[in-house]
Amino acid sequence: QKEVEQNSGPLSVPEGAIASLNCTYSDRGSQSFFWYRQYSGKSPELIMSIYSNGDKEDGRFTAQLNKASQYVSLLIRDSQPSDSATYLCAPGYGANSKLTFGKGITLSVRP
Amino acid sequence: DVKVTQSSRYLVKRTGEKVFLECVQDMDHENMFWYRQDPGLGLRLIYFSYDVKMKEKGDIPEGYSVSREKKERFSLILESASTNQTSMYLCASGPRGHRQPQHFGDGTRLSIL
């Protein structure tokens, strides 16, 4: 059974701070990793993907991957109240882009 | 932009009814997926399809079936709805290949009374 663990939440940070969201996964065969954001009552939307060890930056978001430690994280710099949502970590496996989703961590950014 | 359209946002059905949830994507994706999402349990894969008429069971297929007669359309069928199938149902699609993300529809909130 493939498992994805996201650090316990909810996470609350003040506006302008850095939010750090962590995820560990069990399947060493995973080659692709995705972060989705889900606002309350809405469906998940893709915000970041990462495939190689190291950092990948996109605007205020940075994804970090360490395959040896089976660890992937998402940093949100200069957090805004509009970042308040649940963030889902999803490693991919197999040839058909199947994903295993973590249960998510809820981020609250305080004005 | 990828567009995944689910036929209903909200649906109320009765126990024992046969329920059809429809999903259409406009990006010519090979792969399509059905999930359910429940509080505390996260997103769980029910079925997926990697080609027309091809399907594979996910983690929780019991009580469900699927149909994919055309590439753009993937249907989820609850053969005899039960109250424990009350949930948010999410359809997703994605291109073939292990580096491809999935794109989600808006979801159908299904209540079985």
Query: Using one digit for the tens of pLDDT, what is the confidence trace for A27-60?
Result: 888 889 999 999 999 999 999 999 999 999 999 9
Separation of CA B73 from chain center: 10
What pLDDT is stored for residue B83 in this prediction? Answer: 97
What pLDDT is stored for residue A109 in this prediction? Answer: 97
Question: Which position has the higher pLDDT, B42 or B18?
Answer: B18
Contacts of B39 (CB under 8 A, 6+ apart): none
Cross-chain Cβ contact B97/A97 below 8 Å:
yes
Asked if pLDDT for residue A61 goes beyond 90, the answer is: yes
pLDDT tens track for B42-53: 899 999 999 998
Best residue in A97, A99, A101 for a mutation probing chain B (most B CBs within 10 Å):
A97
